[in-house]
Structure 1
Amino acid sequence: MTSIVNRNITGFILSVFGVLLLSEWLRPLTVVTDTGKIYVFVLFIGLCFILSFLKIKSWISILIKVFTILFLLNHTYYEEALFNFEWIYLFSYDLGQNIKLVFAAEWLEMSALFRSFLFFILLWLMSYLVFYWMIVQKRIFLFFMITVIYITVLDTFSPYDAEGSIIRLVLFGFLMLGLVNLKRVIDSEKLTALKGVFTKWLIPLIIVIFFTSTVGYLAPKAAPQWPDPVPFLKGYGKGGIAPGGGNGIKKIGYGTNDSYLGGPFIPDDTPVFRAGVEKRHYWRVETKDLYTGKGWEASNNYKDKLFTEDNDVLSWFEAGADREYYEADIEVMKLSSHITYPTGLLSVGGHDYPDIQFSVDPVTEKIVSKQYSDSVSFQRYSLTYEQPVYLVQDVQSVNSKGGLELDDQFFETYTQLPDELPQRVKDLALDITKEKTSRYDKVVAVERYFKEAQFLYDTKNVAVPGRNDDYVDQFLFETQTGYCDNFSTAMIVLLRSLDIPARWVKGYSEGTYIETVNENYRVFEITNNNAHSWVEVYFPNFGWIEFEPTKGFSNLSNFVYNTSTTAVNPNTQEVDTQTPSHELVEEVTPEVPEDEVDTSVDSTSDKRINVSWKDISIYILTVVFIAYVLLKTRLRWLPLLAVVRYKYSKDVFVYFKAYPALLNQLERVGLKRQKGQTLREFATYVDKFYRSEDMQKLTRSYERALYKNDNARKEWEESIELWENLIKKVSS
């Protein structure tokens, strides 16, 4: 009895460590992805281990896990009670819609709810595999090493700080290895008298591990002997705007002269400012509306306007755009009189200057801080602002002119093109959008056109248009190589060719993640290398919506599908199924090329778990790797799985399943029973190979059970140990 209790204690401790080990896979997701509420997934992993440890019947275990998944999804995404039929209907509808998207390979359009559901299924599988490796197979080293590699790679190539994770892995991992080895010795030697085994084995193990870990942590460490590989792999100087014109090589950063675009530039990592934010986004400085064929200029038809703290001059959004409120703190490192701000600015404060006013150019939307008519520079200031959320179906409903477009001057300004623009540019715009009807679909089609293979992102081999060349025409039809200025300007010109109002915006991408101050407040450093330009398109009833054509970049705007909301018709009381609000179509990702993406967290809603396509890619690769390992090691784990399946089975006829399982394993290792060969002849052949008589003894017992079914269970109970030893010997 004591030995059984000790084994159970060992198994329980290993199960706890298994949960802790798997949770280390989840911790980085809060930094490198947009995943929130990690504790929900950890709770589910813990439940899976508990059910496996207690050896709950498989069908009961499946029911409990399915119920738990539904409960956690309901808790996270729905306000209805768990047993409310309405939410079950909505969930089923969402499931069906997303399965269609899977078969259509529309991965980015899968709802956050469905991604979370798939993630639970993946954790279910991983929990089973880890438990099986630890408790049944008594091997954990491979998974431990995979975990260490996973954490160290993320620590090197992402913003995730793995110092604490590495310490936990060392402690948990070596304790697990020691316990697994102890359990292996106990089971293989069939020890029954385990008195003092924990005091003689476990306590010294814990002392040694904690002592060596403490010494290793506190001991002085040499500086890195190899250069940091990240800058080499990422490269420098991508995603920038070249200040000023000219044909020479320029230095990346914000500049005021955009009359002549083109040509290469060199990187510059000079810090411009640091921003503490709740949400990742671009930082705008100004817009320009007049395309000259060589670059951008701003029309000067308006006088500057002033505001003191609250922005009552600039407006970007109209009634159809839902909005979310945010705050930010700015620490300026490269002093300038202009304010760098996000779209949706509400107010500017937090500075130490009295009597400050902000001068705004209504055309460029550039904001300059002034004190008594003199420009001043802030070292610190704070911002409040709104960020829009757009329902795709609503935006797609825009098919005609409206809103500000009805003003002829507005429409002419933002659809302006030079008379010398080559006709083939306009023809290309029509060809790209010929099958699209709504404005949104046309804009997205043009945006996606630049993601095609013929376009290359490059900051060095970039042409400068000649005297008779149009900047956009040269990029579209000749070079097809450039950086953000080329892509953004080309998209605007194509849209204006379709009479869709669009404008050019310049500023900075989100920068490099530095640290997390609290759960939802992160600090980013923005340098000259983060200078960038992008596109804004006008939609009546929604306002200016940001788009990102530059190859290697993702769409800025937070578009959502409305796929599982229900509306009750007040006249008929019938349920109309619509799409759910606030389910992400595309994750908002940092606006730097894909090889420079900084993937820190952005939890935009406490009621949402978002797993981005990068999550899915990482975990698909993990599953593929695990599947490959399982395939290569199947000769070892398949027989152990058979032991678990048949040894404790209560089935009266289990013998007639276990013996064929042994024959199958013999066939896998090359000992195949020949056609016409009797069981006894085959048993003799196997015993000669292994130099024993165990197979013949087991075969005689099996034949007795086969011809005396009423005695099959008794024969099995007497032969379990012999059968288990044989199948383990075959797998060794």
Structure 2
Amino acid sequence: MKKDVRFYLEYGIYYLIIFVILREWLNPIMELTNTGYDYYFLLFIALSLALALLGLPLFITWFIKIGYIAFFIIRAYSEFSFFSTEGLHFLYSDLQWNMLQLLQRNFTEVSNPFRTLLFLILIWMLVYLIHHWITVHMSVFYFLLLTVFFIATLDTFSDYDGKAAIVKVMLLGLMLTAFLFLKRSSTTMGTLLQRKSYMHYLMPVIVFVCLAGFVAFLLPKASPQWSDPVPFIKSLTGQGNGGGAVEGKVGYGENDETLGGGFSQDDTVVFRAHAQKRQYWRVETKDFYTTKGWVVDNSSYFEMELPSNTILPLSIPTGEEPKQAEIFPLEEFPFILQPYGLQRVVFDGYTILNGQTEKLQTVVQDNIVALDHYQLVYSEPSYSFTALKDKNMPRMVVDARFLQLPHNLPERVRQLAEEITSDYGTTYDKARAIERYFQQNDFSYDTKNIAYPAEDQDYVDQFLFETKRGYCDNFSTAMVVMLRAVDIPARWVKGFVGGEQVGRSDDGLYIYEVQNNDAHSWVEVYVDGVGWMPFEPTIGFSSPASIDYDVELTENEDELVTEEQRELEQQQREELEQATQNEETKATTSSILNEKNKKWLIVLMIALAAVGFLLYRRRRKWLPTVYVQMQRQKKQDAGNFDLSYTRLLKQLERYGFKRQNNQTLKNFAQQVDEHFGTKDMSILTEAYERMIYSEKGEALDYEQLKENWAYLINRTKG
């Protein structure tokens, strides 16, 4: 294929659209995995598309891509220069070690640089496949289908919000499909569209797609019909609740004596929080495990009355940077929702602190009441990685109730806990080992198919060794019990996870809406020398703990820090940026969908309907011009002449000349010529019959016939 300026301009537009669509593939991966260096991945996509467009020899493109991949990995995962011997040695050593792991089938032990290498190779292959679809098949239907399916799946089954991405992909995909359809049609007919004609055909498509997208964006949207598609899909397959469990309703409750059973989703908003970032909200802890659930050991029960705006004697450590938050409960919650590091509560009244559970009840005029608004002052703790990893920390004496276990706890639960933690020397490492255990041993998150344990069965034992399926109560209870089984103080915590960011308040705080669906339970562990620290064993949730990696790690020490820990700070840094983007998008949507714009939407739809009706009614006036412009670009042959003659008959019918069923073409042509005072219709009809009924069609002068046809069809506009 000869490549000129027109080729590079045309395919450059195609690849630019592909780049934007591929960016919508990359965004959720970066967001959900908290992966940094996203601009390096985008640059590799752009580089791959540019090399595909230039069509350089294969060995040159391979050399450039491999060089970029090597540069990326050395830049991201080492402190060496790409041009240094140390950098190349790092690359070689890492590749050699990972190949050894693959040969030994230790697939979970591959390093992060090697995972990055595999991901870049995947992008390389995807770009090559797209290039093949565009240049050979001139169609991207399957690519667009995969993109929409990929984004929709992540939007449904993860925290990623893919609504804007799907709209963007659909609009760009429709435009690209139109471009490629025109390219494929012109290639099939062997014609070369001029720039003016090219834009003449494409501008209506571009305008229509943009207009359709704008109207679709303005239209009111129905609320989701499924609160959670996973239970709905399972119900269609007849899986039911499993084990005869009684299904409850999600939300915060006081009674935890009998855990188990599934629950249905409830998206009712129970409170709004104005805060600097999304976080966990504690309500209370429980300490006594009964083999079926949790109760409070009241043997040493005490309460404290604390006036408003006084320092609270909570057990969670605090940080150094004070922050403020405001809570607006929408349900009857006569207690304080506590961020980690809570120091003071401000409202017109006082609080009662339960010394056993650390639940803070709100009191106004000597009555426990639910507030409609209160302010919080807190300082989020940051846990020193040096202290967490210090094996020489003195063992602190902690209340024995945080080591309580039932006397009939199955022995295999203790054995499993000891097996998981046997290779670790610090409390933190042992807790992290148990926390990771659920991620790596075929456990699954489920809210429907959860049965209650039998009368003589332990709740944790059933979960660990039989079902391996559950939600937060299963995971958190199991972790607390296993920690206590290896003499690590732990307690069960109830509250809410962060909710959905919906806007920004006047004082600059982000507004989060927390639903019943966000009710949650997790674990707090007492780490010697550090204090109580939160852990999150439930699959699909991230720990709220903020860790200060205050040491320079060697390469060997860095292996001890799991990927989730290393990414935690990056996740927290990016959260505010993502929240800002979400806020702007939702604010724009909210502004457009107000009542005033709905009136304009009705006016716009009426205007569009009127324009469409007028264009249809006057199609006899403008269709001939379109037909003539299309005919000028086509190669004149028998096939195109057949199509042109058929269009002429249709246009004459719109003009008022309809051929009767028993009327010959010759007689009809004479009737037309008599009306217009020409012989063009007879000439065209004679040529048409020769082409159809004889073998002399190849001898026809199609260029002259095109002039006769153009003159006659233009006459029908009058």
TM-score by length of 1: 0.61
The AA in structure 2 aligned to 1:365 is: E
- Contact 1:236–1:267 (Cα < 8 Å) also in 2: no
- In the other structure, the counterpart of 1:138 is 138
Contact 2:264 2:448 survives alignment (8 Å): no
> SS of 1:406's equivalent?
coil
Residues of 1 paired with 2:6 and 2:366: CA distance?
81
- Equivalent AA in structure 2 for residue 206 of structure 1: M
Radius of gyration: which is bigger? 2
Report the Cα distance in structure 2 between the residues aligned to 1:71 and 1:388, rounded to whole angstroms. 34
* Equivalent pair of 1:429/1:498 in contact (CA under 8 Å): no
- Label 1:9 to 1:315 Cα distance change in 2 as closer, same or farther (>3 A): same
C-alpha separation in 1, matches of 2:509 and 2:82: 33
Cα 1:559/1:163, change in 2 over 3 Å:
closer
Offset at residue 500 of structure 1 (A)? 2.0
Tell me if 1:534 matches 2:522: yes
Residue 296 (structure 2) aligns with: 297
Which residue of 2 is the match for residue 662 of structure 1? none
The 1-side partners of 2:37 and 2:202 are apart by: 35
Alignment partners' CA distance in 2, 1:454 and 1:220:
40
Letter in 2 for 1:508: F
One-letter amino acid of the counterpart of residue 43, structure 2: L
The residue that corresponds to 2:494 in the other structure is 506
* Deviations, residues 380-428 of structure 1 (Å, cap 9, x unaligned): 545644365675x985664x8x54x432xx152322335x435636754
The aligned counterpart of 2:22 is 22
Identify the residue that residue 546 of structure 1 maps to in structure 2.
534
- The 5-angstrom pairing of residues 344-383 of structure 1 reads 344-345=341-342, 353=347, 359-369=352-362, 377-379=371-373, 381=375
TM-aligned CA distance change 1:337 to 1:499, over 3 Å: same
Residue 271 of structure 1 corresponds to 269
SS in 2 for 1:314: coil
User: Which structure has the highest helix share of the two?
Assistant: 2
Paired letter, 1:282:
Y
1:71·1:82 contact (CA, 8 Å) conserved in 2?
yes
Q: Deviations over 1:142-190 (max 9, x none)?
A: 3233334434444555555555444543443344334334545666676
How many residues are aligned here? 560
Deviation at 1:199, TM superposition (A): 0.8
Query: Does structure 1 residue 199 correspond to structure 2 residue 196?
Result: yes
* 2:419 matches 1:421: no
* Contact 2:74–2:90, Cα closer than 8 Å, also in 1: no
Provide Cα deviations, 1:503-546, integer angstroms capped at 9, x if missing partner. 121222444x465769x997654333433322222222343343
Q: How much does 1:297 deviate?
A: 0.8
User: Does 1 or 2 have the higher relative contact order (CA < 8 Å, sep 6+)?
Assistant: 1
| 1:584 equivalent in alignment to 2:563 | yes
| Residue 181 to residue 344, structure 1, CA distance change in 2 (3 Å) | same
| Within-5 A mapping of 1:3-402 | 4-29=4-29, 32-35=32-35, 38-69=38-69, 114-135=114-135, 137-155=137-155, 160-184=160-184, 197-215=194-212, 217-218=214-215, 228-229=225-226, 231-234=228-231, 252-258=250-256, 260-262=257-259, 264=261, 267=264, 269=266, 270-275=268-273, 281-292=279-290, 295-299=294-298, 300=300, 302-304=302-304, 306=306, 313-316=313-316, 330-345=327-342, 353=347, 359-369=352-362, 377-379=371-373, 381=375, 384-386=378-380, 388=382, 395=388, 398=391, 402=393
Given that residues 279 and 498 in structure 2 are in contact (C-alpha distance below 8 angstroms), is that contact kept between their aligned partners in structure 1?
yes
- Distance in 1, matches of 2:247 and 2:41, equals 51
Instruction: Indicate the SS of the match to 2:208.
Output: helix
CA distance in 2, matches of 1:426, 1:253: 29
Shift of 1:298: 3.9
Letter in 2 for 1:417: L
Amino acid at match of 1:604: Q
Deviations 1:232-289 (A, max 9, x none): 424699xxxxxxxxx998654333344x324647546242223466665533211122
Q: CA deviation at 1:10?
A: 1.6
SS of the residue corresponding to residue 62 of structure 2 reads helix
Whichever residue aligns with residue 414 of structure 1, its letter is: F
Change (3 A) 1:50 1:384: farther
Between the aligned partners of 2:510 and 2:105, the Cα distance in structure 1 is 34
CA contact 1:432–1:449 (8 Å) conserved in 2? no
Change (3 A) 1:383 1:480: same
Letter of the 2:480 partner, please give it.
I
Helix, strand or coil: the match of 2:571?
Answer: coil
Separation in 2, partners of 1:531, 1:429: 29
Q: How many Å separate the matches in 1 of 2:461 and 2:482?
A: 10
Contact 1:509 1:530 (C-alpha < 8 Å) held by counterparts: yes
C-alpha contact 2:311 2:344 (8 A) present in aligned 1: yes
- Contact 2:501-2:513 at 8 Å conserved across structures: yes
After superposition, give the CA deviation of every residue in 1:679-710 in whole Å (9 maximum; x if it has no partner). Answer: xxxxxxxxxxxxxxxxxxxxxxxxxxxxxxxx
Letter aligned with residue 296 of structure 1: V
Paired with 2:463 and 2:360, the residues of 1 have a C-alpha distance of: 32
Identify the range of structure 1 (497-506 vs 478-487) with the bigger mean alpha-carbon deviation: 478-487
Q: Work out whether residues 140 and 177 of structure 1, in 8 Å CA contact, stay in contact via their aligned partners in 2.
A: yes
CA distance in 1, matches of 2:139, 2:422: 58
Q: Which amino acid aligns with 1:603?
A: Q
Give % identity: 31
Letter in 1 for 2:340: T
**How many angstroms does 1:4 deviate by?**
2.7
C-alpha displacement at 1:214, in angstroms? 0.4
In structure 1, runs of 5+ residues without a counterpart are 238-246, 568-575, 590-600, 611-732
Q: Contact 1:252 / 1:266 at 8 angstroms: preserved in 2?
A: yes
- Do structure 1's residue 412 and structure 2's residue 400 form an aligned pair? yes
Q: Which amino acid aligns with 1:283?
A: W
User: CA-to-partner distance for each residue in 1:35-57, whole Å, 9 max, x for gaps?
Assistant: 45644432322222222322334
The answer (yes or no) to whether the contact 1:455–1:481 under 8 Å persists in 2 is yes
Q: Report the Cα offset of residue 200 of structure 1.
A: 0.6
Shift of 1:92: 6.0
Distance 1:372 1:385 in 2: 29
Q: Deviations over 1:455-486 (max 9, x none)?
A: 996667644775x8766567778988865445
Q: What is the distance in 1 between the residues matched to 2:181 and 2:4? A: 17
User: For the residues of structure 1 that align with 2:107 and 2:384, how far apart are their CA atoms?
Assistant: 19
| C-alpha distance 361-115 of structure 1, shift in aligned 2 (>3 A) | farther
d(CA) in 1 for partners of 2:12 and 2:470? 59
| Distance across 2 between alignment mates of 1:361 and 1:166 | 49
Secondary structure of the corresponding residue to residue 286 of structure 1: strand
Residue 668 (structure 1) aligns with:
none
Secondary structure at the residue paired with 1:304? strand
Q: Report the Cα distance in structure 1 between the residues aligned to 2:172 and 2:382, rounded to whole angstroms.
A: 44
After superposition, give the CA deviation of every residue in 1:312-363 in whole Å (9 maximum; x if it has no partner): 6334459xxx9999876644222423222343445657xxx46x66554444
Q: Secondary structure at the match of 1:603?
A: helix
Distance 1:561 1:81, change over 3 A: farther
Deviation for aligned residue 1:305: 7.0
In structure 2, the residue corresponding to 1:546 is in which secondary structure?
strand
1:698: which partner in 2? none
Which amino acid counterpart does residue 21 of structure 2 have in structure 1? L
Residues 120, 348 of structure 1: alpha-carbon distance in 2 compared, 3 angstrom cutoff: farther
Please, which moves more after superposition, 118-127 or 301-310?
A: 301-310
Cα pair 1:159 1:514 within 8 Å, conserved: no
TM-score, with structure 2 as normaliser: 0.62
- Which residue of 518, 521, 543 corresponds with 1:556? 543
Counterpart residue number, 1:604: 572
